[in-house]
Structure 1
C-alpha cells in the first residue's frame, strides 16, 4: 500500500543503533539473556529496546548487513517478531557516482524498497548527502535519523522517532519529488 493510508516503515540498522561500539569496553552495560552465542557484542543489546520498537506505530524492516540473522539472533533476544529484511544490491551493482558524491550504499535501496511509503531510517552512518538525495528522490515523508554508535539508541532517539511518526500520521501526503 502506498500513500497516507500505509503505515510508515522503520528501516533499522543493528551495528551502532542496537549494538553500540567505538567507546571503551567499560562504557557499555552488559545485558545477559542467555542467548549471547558466539558474537561477543550481543550482550550490549538492551532488551528494553524490543518493546519500545514494537510499540512504535510503524512497520519494522531490518536494514542491516546482518540480513536474516537479525530475525534469527537479534529479534528473539529483544522480543521482536520476525520482520522484513532489505536485500542489498551486490557491490558490482553499486553506482560509482554515488561513491564519488558520498551517498551511502544503502540509500538508493531503501528508497526503492519504500516505494513511496513514508519511512524513518535509523543508522549510524547517515550524512547530509543521504538526506538531500532522499529529499530529491523519495515522494513520501522521510526521516533519516543518525544514531551515535558510541551510545546506540537512547531515550532521545526514541522520542524523535515517536514525534516524527505521530507527525507523519497527521501530515498531508507529500507530492512527487
Structure 2
C-alpha cells in the first residue's frame, strides 16, 4: 500500500496555530490584504518541525489554496493537499451549530475517509470530539492550540508522541 495513504493525516489550521492572534493585525484569513507585519508572526522553524512528523500534512483552513501560496513558502513547507470547503448548507450548518460542532468537523471526517488523523486548531470543543468519535472509525487526536501563542514545543511533543505511540508500526 502507498505509504502516503497509510500514514495518518494531520489537518492543519492557519489562524491561531501558525499565525497567533494578538496585537493589531489585518483581518485574519484575508491574505490579499495581509501585510509583512502580519506574516512576521509566522515562525519559520514551524515548517521543518511539521514536515518531520510521521504523517501527511493537509491544510484545513479558511485560507484554502492561499495557504500554499502565502504560508507554506514562508515556513519552508512544500505545496500541501488542501481541504476545499464545499458551499455552505444552511440546514446542515444550523444542525451543527445546534450541536456545538465546528463548521469543519463533518468535512474533515469525510475527507479523511476512514484514515486516522490529527486535527490541529484553536477552536475545538468536546462536541467535536464526541461527534468524531461516534462517526469516524479510526483513531483521532483533536489537538487544541492556544490561539494567542500558536504551536509550541509542548504541542509538537504531544503530536509526535501520539503519532509515534499510536502508529509506530506505520
Q: Give the TM interval when normalised to the shorter protein.
A: 0.7 to 0.9
What residue ranges of structure 1 are gaps of 5+ in the alignment?
Answer: 26-35, 173-177
What aligned pairs does 1:126-165 form with structure 2 within 5 A after superposition? 126-165=124-163
The alpha carbon displacement at 1:39 in A equals: 1.2
1:85 aligned counterpart, secondary structure: coil
CA distance in 1, matches of 2:169, 2:133: 16
TM value normalised by structure 1: 0.84
1:111 aligned counterpart, secondary structure: helix
The alpha carbon displacement at 1:90 in A equals: 1.4
Q: Name segments (4+ residues, structure 1) moved above 6 Å.
A: none
Q: Per-residue displacement from partner, 1:118-171 (whole Å, max 9, x unpaired)?
A: 100000000000000111101001000010000000111101000000122138
The alpha carbon displacement at 1:37 in A equals: 8.5
Give the alignment partner of residue 100 of structure 1, picking from 98, 101, 109: 98
CA distance in 2, matches of 1:71, 1:120: 19
Give the alignment partner of residue 91 of structure 1, picking from 66, 70, 88: 88
CA distance in 1, matches of 2:168, 2:161: 11
* Contact 1:94/1:105, CA 8 A, preserved across alignment: no
Give the alignment partner of residue 34 of structure 2, picking from 33, 36, 39: 39
TM value normalised by structure 2: 0.87
1:17 corresponding residue in structure 2 = 17
1:169 corresponding residue in structure 2 = 167
2:116 corresponding residue in structure 1 = 118
CA distance in 1, matches of 2:154, 2:88: 34
1:29 corresponding residue in structure 2 = none
Tell me the C-alpha RMSD between the 2 structures.
2.1
Whether 1:62 aligns to 2:59 is yes
CA distance in 2, matches of 1:140, 1:37: 37
Question: Number of residue pairs matched?
Answer: 159
1:94–1:7 Cα change, 3 Å: farther
The alpha carbon displacement at 1:77 in A equals: 0.7
CA distance in 2, matches of 1:10, 1:58: 6
